[in-house]
Amino acid sequence: MQLTDVLVSEHGLFLLLGVLFLYLGAEVLVKGATGLALGVGLHAALVGVTVVAFATTAPELFIGVVSGLDGDSQLGLGAIVGSNIANIGLVLGVSALVRPLSVSSTVVRRHVPFMALAAALLVVFGRDGIIGRAEGVVFLLVLAGFTYVLYRGASDGADAVDESGAVADGGAVVEEMPDVDADGLSLRHVAYLVVGLVLLFLGSRWLIDSGRSILYQFGFTQRLIGLTVLAFGTSLPEFAASVVAAVRGRADFSVGNVVGSNIYNVLAVLGLLAVIVPVFVSVSVESFDFPALVAFTVAAVAVMLRGGEIGRLDGAGLVGGYLVFFYLLLP
């Protein structure tokens, strides 16, 4: 069967709808959750580093939890690892090709160490072939520490929210605040929240089922399905947002988007998944996927620390590295 025939089939349609619903669900969920949080009087900085941050990670979270409950934790793990690699190789790389990205000292000081720590903990915890509930709790505790660091940075600033509605963390943007009215509890925000959750559930369900059905026909294993179609599907929102930000000259958002997403994917998504169900780590994941994640993370940290800018040559190297990684994955 040809790939074009598959993409125009029923499975192909639901695959595309799954990606679309994940994107729309995350957008609507952010709007509803933020409106409710601001409505009950939470500080805007706290909302930015908790509610908005978690809501924007919702696609990866739903993919991981739904696949785990289906007994396919390898899919969830593959989606997390693949998404983090795609965030660095594709999202950061393409954004740097569009326009060189400046890296603020705040991102380097507060965010980058947690991204490196998250990748290191993932590799260490997976060495015995399983990431269990205890490791999941450790991930969540580290996440709590990261959230505290972000909140302190945001609330200590002179302006917790800038004129564009972004929650500021020194010179960096922590999370983009959607355009909502903090006018107390509102049924409209509750409706947004419910609709967002429904869209996320349907999107994750369709993306998993359709991706599995399509790629099984081409000899892909569950691990490869997670590393490719699920990872790319969940990275599309970050890709679109970061490239648009680079075009508009918002380099701080492009870099912060990738770093923050990689932190939350491991600490929040995998942490919660491991608390719910054991996450099994195969030999191929330990011998290839984890080293690839470490290599991309080290490359990202290196270019961020060197000179405070990610240039077009760096972007080309990251994209080239991702293409090599993807080629080596093909069965």
Mean pLDDT by 10 residues, the chain (331 residues): 57 81 79 73 59 70 81 85 93 91 83 94 95 96 90 60 39 47 67 85 81 76 80 77 76 78 92 92 92 96 87 95 91 68
- Domain residue ranges in the chain: 3-329
pLDDT of residue 197: 83
- Specify the pTM: 0.80
Q: For 132, list phi and psi in degrees, rounded to 5.
A: -100, -165
> CB atoms < 10 A from the CB of 197, how many?
17
Give me the torsion for CA of 48, 51, 52, 53, rounded to 10°.
90
pLDDT of residue 227: 85
List, in sequence order, every beta strand (DSSP E) within the chain.
101-102, 130-131, 166-169, 172-176, 279-280, 309-310
Find, among 285, 214, 211, 190, the residue nearest to 22 by Cα. 211
pLDDT of residue 166: 43
pLDDT of residue 85: 95
pLDDT of residue 156: 62
Q: Angle, nearest 10°, between helix axes 133-156 and 112-125?
A: 180
CA separation for the pair 231, 224 (Å, rounded): 10
Look up the CATH architecture of domain 3-329.
Up-down Bundle (1.20)
pLDDT of residue 268: 92
pLDDT of residue 204: 78
Question: Partners of 166 in the beta sheet?
Answer: 176
Q: Which residues, other chains included, contact 329 with Cβ-Cβ below 8 Å and sequence gap of 6+?
A: 224, 227, 228
pLDDT digits (tens, 9 = 90+) for 39-73: 766 666 556 556 666 666 777 888 888 888 877 78
> CB atoms < 10 A from the CB of 195, how many?
16
